[in-house]
Amino acid sequence: MPKNRFQALAESRNRDHKSINESGRRSDLFGKHVFNEEKMLQFLTNEAFDKVKSAIFQGTKIDRKIADQVAEGMKAWALSMGATHYTHWFQPLTGATAEKHDAFFDILPNGKAMEKFGGAQLVQQEPDASSFPSGGIRNTFEARGYTAWDPTSPAFVYKTTLCIPTIFVAYTGEALDNKAPLLRALHAVDQAATAVAQYFDKNVRKVHATLGWEQEYFLVDKALINSRLDISVTGRTLVGSFSAKGQQLDDHYFGVIPPRVLAFMSELEKECTQLGIPVKTRHNEVAPNQFELAPVFEEANLSVDHNLLLMDVMEEIADRHNFAVLFHEKPFAGINGSGKHNNWSLATDTGVNLLSPGSTPMKNLQFLTFFVNTIKAVDTYEELLRASIASASNDHRLGANEAPPPIISIFIGEQLNDVLDELEGVSKGKLSPEEKTELKLNVVGKIPEILLDNTDRNRTSPFAFTGNKFEMRGVGAKMNCAKPMTMLNTIMAKQLTDFKKEVDVLIDKKKLKKDEAVFNVLREYIKTSKRIRFEGDGYGIEWQEEARRRKLSFNKNTPEALQVITSKESVALFKEMDVMSEVELKAHQEVELGAYIFHIQIEGRILGEMVYNHIIPAAIKYQNLLLENIQGLKDVYGAAHKKVAESQLNILEQVGEHIFDIKKLTDEMADARKRANGMQLSNKKAQAYCNNVKPFFDKIREHSDALEKLIADEIWPLTKYREILFSK
């Protein structure tokens, strides 16, 4: 193993970076491999084009005749792009993407061959999907699951395959993926937000959620990754002594991008541009060998698809550059982890961002309406938002010194807090002329100026308003954005639905004017959601105690966080919004718990293997070296050797103690794992892994890291932090 370590180091140091030509306009390449509107106009009949556009924007169904026309046009375009196969590209509950490729090739009855692709193949397929997690919706021997075309996300050609974005459902109709619930949530928020937006503009016919994600990741030479069993299997280091130099000098953040990395980024951006992913920003992040990529905002469903596609493409291109991409939220202890901030807003089909103020008091009242309703939604359903970002890997990041805590709160800035405090004092019922003037001129009217100067940021807030959007910062780097986006849009749909009912009651029964009714309801929301607004530092015991006083949930780990998904209130919410049934919620919860169990189980097994096969043998080898030295000194000095060999004897004793402790702890961890495996209920098993198995990891690591510091460098088998983090 030490040989592997030094071979990997030599290999990584001798790498040369590829030369990438960045010249040329990105706009000329954008969407080249996407069956977008431009390609549809070229390859579809007018009838088919109109039906597809109607399906995208009005949600109408596409009949078989039109599906055949679309399939024929899509096939012709794909063949012109060099495609030989097609696939339904979907998002099973594994958190990754899945695909099964079929050739366009087919044999005719006369024995001749042709390229074939019809409406039936476009609209629906039946993959052999029995091994995908279903959370008990079906038995593993029942393989029938259906993928169904999602026309709102355009097909694309990747390498030689036409990829068709689809949903994935069971034979009985329940969602077996992350896309179907997201589409339902987006439909729900569209209906609810459109109804409220029409208070201010009768021309609004549709509201769509927008999403802009910020993808953080580590980029490490693949030889170094392959030299570490823990990183190559689990995505993170289970042991490893901190490097003397980490991120404390902040010299990597926004620094010059290393040539090898820049070559990778350039090729990645070119590929992304052709696939229609509107990547725009790239830079070094805080931790060594950590970077970030961010796109332009898009409609949420498309943005989710693009993020998943991006991660697939990143891994492939990284491999071509002899890199490995680490999406794990905390691959290295002691330095920053990686998140995927989800920047969310709502936009109308008339081109208005509903979370951006306008030039008139009425437009600003519209902004306040959606702004306050978002705060109210998060306050009411903060536990569900926490559940949507829960995972075994993200548990390591949440609450660390660079990431939001697992307590959901909202940061809006001092100036907007002042605005809400003033609105809280609005009179109940009808407003006086003076109050209307005060609100329009000095409160609502000045919001654009307030936001212009509101440059404060609170990087520890899990949910922050950043000028014209809310930023959900707890999302983990390797997560599918569909999960938090489904949750956020569902609770927003419910909140806006309730808001409209309350406003309509005041208008119809209390005879209040529309703006008076809106102000009255907003005033109550501001009062009842005050607890969720927090402007301070999100770390430390002080905030935890304050959060408890405010009765905010503090679900520190994934098993705790996931419990709320199947609560009576959650089931009622998702049923009312027609997003997920109780069966689907229970299935999703079961899958998430299962994933948590397997992640901790795998890490425990890998850690045990490293202890027995790498760490203890290296420690014994070093013991033998010390013993040989001590024996030599004894041969020369006789009884006086103890004084001469005092340091060696001390180190020998320390190594022996660590060997004893690390073996004992590893054996106890294995026993705890066996006991956990004997439990039948997933929630009990997950809690056992969390509370009884996982705590051994840090204890074992403590002894391993101590041995790393004691044992001679040429004997230590595992590539060290300083070698991994500072290789370019």
The answer, yes or no, to whether residue 140 has pLDDT greater than 70, is no
Residue 63: per-residue pLDDT: 84
**Distant-in-sequence, close-in-space partners of 343: CB < 8 Å, separation ≥ 6:** 211, 212, 213, 214, 297, 466, 469, 470, 471, 472
Classify the C-alpha dihedral 351-354-359-361 as positive or negative. Answer: positive
pLDDT in tens, 322-379: 999 999 999 999 899 999 999 999 999 999 999 998 888 888 999 999 999 999 999 9
Classify the C-alpha dihedral 282-283-289-293 as positive or negative. Answer: negative
- Using pLDDT thresholds of 50, 70 and 90, give the confidence band for residue 455: very low
Residue ranges with strand state E in 54-96: 85-89
- State how far the Cα of 467 lies from the Cα of 489, in Å rounded to an integer: 19
| Three-class secondary structure of residue 101 per DSSP | strand
CATH of 595-725, one of 1.20.120.1560, 3.40.50.12280, 3.30.70.1230, 3.30.390.30: 1.20.120.1560
Structure tokens at 561: 């966080």
Of 481-485, 533-537, 578-582, 688-692, give the lowest mean pLDDT range: 533-537
Closest by CA to 353, choosing from 361, 342, 345, is 345
Percent over 70 (pLDDT), the chain:
95
- State how far the Cα of 242 lies from the Cα of 225, in Å rounded to an integer: 17
The answer, yes or no, to whether residue 682 has pLDDT greater than 60, is yes
Q: Which of 38-52, 210-224, 359-373 has the highest mean pLDDT?
A: 210-224
- State how far the Cα of 186 lies from the Cα of 149, in Å rounded to an integer: 17
Q: Are 149 and 164 within 8 A, CB to CB?
A: yes
The answer, yes or no, to whether residue 636 has pLDDT greater than 80, is yes
Q: How many CB atoms lie within 10 A of CB 680?
A: 6
pLDDT in tens, 91-139: 988 888 988 898 998 777 777 777 888 888 888 877 666 667 666 666 5
pLDDT in tens, 491-521: 999 999 999 999 999 999 989 999 999 999 9
Residue 603: per-residue pLDDT: 98
Q: Are 313 and 9 within 8 A, CB to CB?
A: no
What's the whole-number mean pLDDT along residues 379-405? 91
Q: Let me know if domain 187-238+246-580 sits in CATH 3.30.590.10.
A: yes
Residue 354: per-residue pLDDT: 97
Please give the model's pTM, rounded to 2 decimal places: 0.94
What's the whole-number mean pLDDT along residues 415-432? 87
What's the whole-number mean pLDDT along residues 614-624? 96
DSSP string, 310-372: HHHHHHHHHHHTTEEEE--S-SSTTS---BEEEEEEEEETTS-BTTS--SSHHHHHHHHHHHH
pLDDT in tens, 47-78: 999 999 888 887 788 888 888 999 999 999 99
Residue spans of the domains in the chain: they are 31-176, 187-238+246-580, 595-725
The answer, yes or no, to whether residue 489 has pLDDT greater than 90, is yes
**Distant-in-sequence, close-in-space partners of 351: CB < 8 Å, separation ≥ 6:** none
Cβ-based burial of 545 (10 A; exposed 0-12, middle 13-18, buried ≥19): exposed
Residue 64: per-residue pLDDT: 82
pLDDT in tens, 276-319: 999 999 888 888 999 999 999 999 999 999 999 999 999 999 99
**DSSP state for residue 298 in the 8-state scheme:** E
Superfamily, domain 31-176: Glutamine synthetase, N-terminal domain (3.10.20.70)
Residues across the chain: 728
**Distant-in-sequence, close-in-space partners of 175: CB < 8 Å, separation ≥ 6:** 167, 168, 169, 181, 580, 584
- Using pLDDT thresholds of 50, 70 and 90, give the confidence band for residue 458: low
What's the whole-number mean pLDDT along residues 694-704? 97
Residue 20: per-residue pLDDT: 72
Residue 471: per-residue pLDDT: 95
Q: Are 404 and 398 within 8 A, CB to CB?
A: yes
Structure tokens at 124: 């629906």
